[in-house]
A and B are shown apart, each in its own frame.
Chain A
Amino acid sequence: GRARLSHAEPRARDARSGEEEEEEDEGCYQLYPGHIPTSPLQKALLAAGSACMALYDPYRHDMVAVLGETTGCLALPNLRDKMKHHPEGYRILQERPRIRLSTLDMARLRGLPDGSLGREYVRFLEDNKVSPDTRMPPKFVDDEELAYVIQRYREVHDLMHTLLGMPTNMLGEVVVKWFEAVQTGLPMCVLGAAFGPVRLSARKLQVLATELIPWAIRSGQNASCILNIYYEQRWEQSVESLREEIGIFPPP
């Protein structure tokens, strides 16, 4: 459902003290746990502020998340529709799976053969010392289904790293952002892709520009929507066959 945003300021008379209270009604409903209703002005300020802060302090991942939420009003419905019109994507929207340490059977995934999605994913998590639980839950998306879409996008991000074979250093992140920018059209990905390279050395920039970015763009354009894959049911599938199925070209 959509949040009804109103700027009405009802004056409520407190029966006890007769005080007049003025409230700023910025949205009448909390649509999901963690939802903070915001006015359009607040969203604009948040978008600008989070963009600046993310550039100033790249370790503020929460700012990148906020930027994604406040600027995704066009791209997210697009993604949701792509999911709705695809059988596997539609199932994901219905069943709302979450990728979390508590829902993943890490021991089983570790036991899978090398080259399988599950095994490589766990290897990626361990090598880069990251966990799927550190993804920020959405706060400023005013539609509960779209909030799930962006949550799914965040949780699938690590799988993108695995499929693209990119580590979590700045270079790897930028490459994944280029891929995601082409795939999702989220302004946050586009901005991240454009401004991320600013902090890289000249040598890395060269590799980026000549090999990695063209490959990421080609793969992104060729691949089907990455949110339409029910990854949790494909742990046994090999990374290569999944790449072929989606349409990601082998990494350089």
Chain B
Amino acid sequence: AAGLCPCRAVLARRGGALRALCGSRRGLAAGPETHFGFQTVTEAERREKIYQVFESVAKKYDVMNDSMTLGIHRVWKDILVHKMNPSPGTLLLDVAGGTGDIAFRFINYVRSVRERQLQRKLRHHQNLSWQEIAESYQEDKSKSLGDSQVVVCDINKEMLKVGKQKAQHLGYSEGLSWVLGNAEELPFDDDKFDVYTIAFGIRNVTRIDLALDEAYRVLKPGGRFLCLEFSHVSNPLLSRLYDLYSFQVIPVLGEVIAGDWKSYQYLVESIRRFPPQEELKAMIEDAGFFKVDYQNLNSGIVAIHSGFKL
């Protein structure tokens, strides 16, 4: 089904929609229908195709992100972690965290918060003897993260592999774990995590409602859900420019840099297919989260949705 042109996809999609209206009592053997970019596929096909996309782009994932967004994706991810404002001792679950961008930022943030804590503590202890200061410094140093931990969970082995290599290369080891898992069915117990993040991943999940339910399940009461994802631009002029850039430039970048046009064509199509801000907010509320809100970045090219389990 790869390579179907958009025209045929429109007809197929209309056909698919009608079939869905007639009800799944027809019992389509291959499963309910959904979308893969602008094509119509079954859910099973979609999962398989998306797995292949990320398997193929894993090695060039970071390079491509930098080229496509001119490095701006780093700023978006920084803003996400700043919004999270984790304190030492936080347990983070980063889903679809593949190459580890959010996990590393989390570790950096917590480390610097911890350092500031230690500095403040030292300043208060200035009347102690050198011996006592050195001792207290030693025992605090061994907990540079202050018991914070991040679990990176991804469904794709290749992405995890790249992430692990990156961690080794950059020197991240403490407080970091890598787990192979499916966002729609997380391999974790209930009420485990303080924060759940999913950055540029929820778009690739086939059943977003299931992923949101799982997020609710594994978060502790009081836990926070944060989602960073491409969203919809309402400004008409910006929207046209964004579309032009997305459809004309990004697949070309994919071909030139990664030798893979189709995966990046899928990427820009999947952004257009993803629910806009308000709809996603409603879905998050349906999963049981409270105080659900979103923050647009760059006029809606990207949005951060946040919710709390109370």
Contacts and interface: CB of A to CB of B under 8 A. Distances in A.
A113 interface: no
Interface in B243-281: 243, 247-249, 251-253, 255-257, 259, 261-262, 272-273
A53 B277 CA distance: 38
A114 interface: no
Nearest to B276: A19
Interface stretch (B3-11, B90-98, B125-133, B298-306): B3-11
Interface residues of A, number: 35
A149 interface: no
A29 B259 CA distance: 22
B7 A25 contact: yes
Contact of A46 (B10, B14, B256, B272): B256
Nearest to A9: B243
A139 interface: yes
Given A36-B261, A41-B248, A24 B243 contact: yes
B256 A21 contact: no
Contacts of B252: 42, 45-46, 49
A134 to B, nearest CB: 14
A23 B18 contact: no
A14 B253 contact: no
Measured as residues with beta carbon below 8 angstroms from the partner, the interface class of chain B is 20 to 34
A66 interface: yes
B13 A12 contact: yes
A10 B5 CA distance: 14
Given A12-B10, A15-B21, A22 B272 contact: yes
A36 B243 contact: no
Nearest to A62: B259
Given A22-B272, A25-B7, A26-B6, A60 B259 contact: yes
Given A21-B272, A63-B256, 16 more contacts: A12-B14, A16-B20, A22-B243, A23-B10, A24-B243, A24-B247, A27-B5, A30-B4, A30-B5, A33-B3, A35-B3, A46-B256, A49-B252, A49-B256, A62-B259, A139-B261
Interface of B: 3-7, 10, 13-14, 17-18, 20-21, 38, 243, 247-249, 251-253, 255-257, 259, 261-262, 272-273
13 contacts: A9-B243, A12-B13, A21-B38, A21-B273, A22-B272, A24-B6, A24-B247, A25-B6, A39-B248, A42-B252, A45-B248, A49-B255, A52-B256
